[in-house]
Amino acid sequence: MKRTQWLAGSLLLALAACCEPQTQQAVPLRPLPEDAAPLTYAELLTRARYQERIAVESYYADHWAELEDSARGLQQTARFLAKAQDVPPNHKDTLPVVSGDLAKEADKLLEAAKAKDTKEVDAAMARVHAVVRSLKLEN
């Protein structure tokens, strides 16, 4: 009887190990064509948030090349953000400055990622997060 219980328990443990949840890796966004028509503010905000999330996940996994790609994506999003359509009224006046800040912080993130400087990446990620968070649609 004990042998049967042990065998059943071992089988259940083996099955549980096979069913361990897989971690899903975020899919990087493709760069936008530089001659693309202006996108809406909401589309670019969504894009910036997603790129920031990919940057964080890449950094935690020590995927430095992906982190560099995310930083480049944030640089491009910042350029497109300056020409965004349907900008909320509370961001119309400050958008050129904020998009410039995002580009500047993405530059710093890219340089830190190239150097694999974890302290500077931490600081740059915090600054990128603060800028992206300030872009929210409503007050």
Give the model confidence (pLDDT) of 90-103 as tens digits. 999 999 999 999 99
Both tokens of residue 61? 């996994």
Residue 85 is given by DSSP the state B
Going along the chain from its start, the domains and CATH numbers come out as 38-134 (1.20.120.290)
Q: In the predicted model, what is the mean pLDDT of residues 98-116?
A: 97
Q: Is 45 exposed, middle or buried (0-12, 13-18, 19+ CB in 10 A)?
A: buried
Give the model confidence (pLDDT) of 47-87 as tens digits. 999 999 999 999 999 999 999 999 999 999 999 999 999 99
DSSP letter string over 86-131? S--HHHHTTHHHHHHHHHHHHHHHHHHHHHT-HHHHHHHHHHHHHH
